[in-house]
Chains A and B, each alone.
Chain A
Amino acid sequence: MGIGKILRRTFLIGSAAIVGGVAFGAYYVTRPAANPLKPRDGEAALNPFVMIDQNGVTLFAPRAEMGQGVKTSWAALIAEELDVDLEQVNVLHGPAAAAYYNSAFLSDGLPGKGYDKSEFQHNLGEALGVIGKSLSLHGTGGSTSMKDGFIRMREAGASARETIKQAAAERLGVDRSQLKTEAGHVIAPDGTTIPYAELAEATATLDPVEAELRDPSEWRYLGRSQPRLDMVGKSTGTAEFAIDVRLPGMKFATVRRNPKLGGGMKSFDDSGAKSMPGVEKIVDIGDGIAVIGTNTWLVIQAAEAVEIKWEDAPYPPTTDAIFAKIAKAFDGSPNSTMRDDGDVEAAIEGATEITADYTAPYLAHSTMEPMTAAAQLGSNGLQVWTGTQMPLFAQMRAASVAGLESEQVEINTTYLGGGFGRRLELDFVEVAVKVAMAVPGTPVLTTWSREEDMRHDYFRPGAMARLRGAVKGGKAVLIDGHVAAQSPVQQAVERITGMAGGGPDKVLVEGFFNQPYAIPNYRMSGYVADVKLPVGFWRSVGNSYNGFFHETFMDELAHAAGRDPLAFRLEHARDEWDVAARCLEKVRDMSGWTGKTPDGVGRGVAMTYSFGTPVAQVIEVVDENGTIRINKAWIACDMGLAIDPHVVKAQMFGGMMYGLSAACFGEITFDGGEVEQWNFPDYDALRMHTAPQVEVEVLETNRFMGGAGEPGTPPSMPALGNALFDLTGNRARTLPLSHTFDLLI
């Protein structure tokens, strides 16, 4: 029996009676997980993915909807097998629960480059995925949702369908195989139809039936674009984000914490602020204050009026000093050397060697909805409403802050006004809970001002690269890369478990050591910088800076070799991984790449492999009277089966835009230990008039499913830099590019 088979068995499709119906879902591996929907006493406990009662069919998509369409695609996975129409079912996020674990989180952390994995490694990845459940990894991130749900959710749907059919078969006195299902109905041999809801109670008395999954040729939903379930709400202002939660008697709060991040508060004087209009209470939350009152704007005014003496930050006070400390990491021994092919130290006769240093700045996530959470402390527990990517961790953190057991905390996950990795963190939950604890019984919505949000992020770490490479006979024969940055992984481990994280950090070097190019002498060393500045997971994480380093350097190597940068990449990719090569060929054909551009036009190309998906991009810039505008972009990607092509295209473009915005303008800098950026005017993004036109092609030849949410980001920054080089002959080795070029704003 293969590992895959055992794994599928451990994802047992259980069923349980609920009031007037039945729920289907997942048992815990070794013991039943508590059913957050609390079935009646004595019933089996399980976490439902499918619930059927008199009101119809409800599907659970316990993944954070932050714009990537997961609510719809997850529901489609279940509906495909269950035979229900997506328009007729209710889709809910559901509560924080261990059985909603993400099985793909850990498998992506396996050693190895990723694209070269064998079936064995793939299965091992699935095995690790089950551990995800024991680690409370109920979460959304790492471009994992479709990889994670693809088999499990179809199984949940199939088992539910066959069990319902069994109930119908018993009622009709026919064999189950004689029955068909369609649009939430069982169809009898004589053509009469029975709605699922009518069979719900009878189904609850049966043991769930195991079922084979349908052949992809029979799919109605998967592989096709579905109208997104959240679209009406998001076009009418009725979709509920955390900031929109309104409860009877609700108060509004805001927070002001030490801008010297990680420093404490020495003292504060709220005598003036206390008497300002709308203010009801000012609370000491340890590293800052919160103001509770009747109106968000009024409490923001009051928070600014509180006089506070702050402690210093535990990191160097200026950007230069911080980067000097990052550079120091190169003097130590590497944290990892995940690729060491050939012999990078040996001299290569007849080769031309080049070296280059690169720098990438700290970046903020800058989600459109600032950090926000509502909380209410009642006599028998705590309720939290927020847009979180990690509901179980949020539950645990809220419980520990409030001195409660996890079971006493209920997390209600709303839509997320952007995630990008920011809402994996728990600080906004912690703050909201502290605020709620100050006024027991009263629901309080704590909204951060944009300034507070911008200046209290877990930033994308600033990073430095020292690269050496060589070309010979038109080919790259050497890349020796050294990259230094803080480790968000080590920090997150420490934040979540309280223990210092250690060991080789793959995320620090992802997007560099694992790029699908055949280069005989190829080494990549990562160095962890010891800077105590809060850093986190920014869309595509390590790939976001390594993509820029690696693919800009590939361009430099191509030029040193006197080769066309696209043809040069293609040759090296063809020898390593045909899937990546096809993306380059596609983007070459889409853009009509000739390697030549008219005066005033520049084009650049980049290809990166991240989260299982290779993505190639060509970007075209134009010089308009001295101002440079990004005119067009072409994207080709291959994540294997694309569950919803429209969503994939939107994610590819969105990921690219996120990267281009950062490449053009994004930087978080420090002075006096404080972030120097405050709001969108000093941390801007591309807008309607500065966004390129785009064409996206989705190839589907990759053997294993890759992600969609992040892989569009890493190639965008080098593709743009390479285009600017093509246009101007000026090679920018530091981001953002607005420092070097006159970009349209």
Chain B
Amino acid sequence: MATISLDKVRKVYAGGVEAVKGVSIDIADGEFIVLVGPSGCGKSTLLRMIAGLEEISDGEIRIGDRVVNRVEPADRDIAMVFQNYALYPHMTVYNNLAYGLKNRGEPKDEIDKRVKEAARILEIGDFLDRKPRQLSGGQRQRVAMGRAIVRKPAAFLFDEPLSNLDAKLRVQMRIEIKRLQETLGTTSVYVTHDQLEAMTLAHRLVVLNHGRIEQIGTPLEVYEKPASTFVAGFIGSPAMNLIPVKAKDGRLHLESGEGLDAPDGFGAEHALLGVRPEDLQVDADGAENADALSLRMKVIAVEPVGAESYVHGRVAGVVDDVVVRVPAKAEFSAGAELNLKASRDRLHVFDAANGGRLNG
């Protein structure tokens, strides 16, 4: 068990690519941190720097109260689970789990005890004599987890460990990883590009974009109060609708003419109004209301997903489609005109220039 702290960590690759541009995070003991962001945003690089697999160009990483910048991966007291599992193909499951312990010179009976214990927790006891190629994807995933937990490390590092599994297994393993982390209480850093995985696993999310932190917070904080349009668009599915507005005389005006009162202290001239699909209501009468946002949308397509449906449509002055979540039973057809309403306290206002959040 240990805390991990990153202080202005930077990574510049040999080719000059700056993959991580000064990241600072303090991870508490036992915390489950998820690094999330689109592909290429530097998540893996950051994780690999914590693991010691990549050199740190600048800044400082501490595990516990030791600076580990120049410490070999094996001596950092961490364990890592790779996306492709990286099991040793020629070794049995037992030896895969035992290898790290053997290299540390643990006594044989201690190794045996720990391997059996890990196998019991992960329910892989029946496969200990098999080779990795004789296992299914889910079983390999468990072995990879087993290899991490036998070591009883100070921290687990996961790099997209579930992305090679099918959807059903992914959900199942996700729950298991969460349960395991809670039982063991080991500090964990988990990398994923899947926002749902991030939301469900994390104690705190770290949203990365182009090597910078966009926001750190609990899943709900990040969802309720996205710090930028980037976070707003990345967390939540379907993504938040962003509607350009102009501020004039204390009111925000849509291109189509509708308007509403600006939030307190609002100074910018151009802004983006964010509203999540579930916060938009289809409103029969369409009466304008100074305290709410109202929009007219022309339906393009309806996407039923079972429990609910997503209606995609166009709103004058908005480049992207606007998406509304409606109950599955509601029936709309393409071409129909809808009046939409969102109450003022459900709206997010962002600076149109830099994407930063403007309302509290």
Q: Do A and B bind each other?
A: no
Hey, which bits of chain A sit against chain B, CB under 8 A?
Answer: none
Hey, which bits of chain B sit against chain A, CB under 8 A?
Answer: none
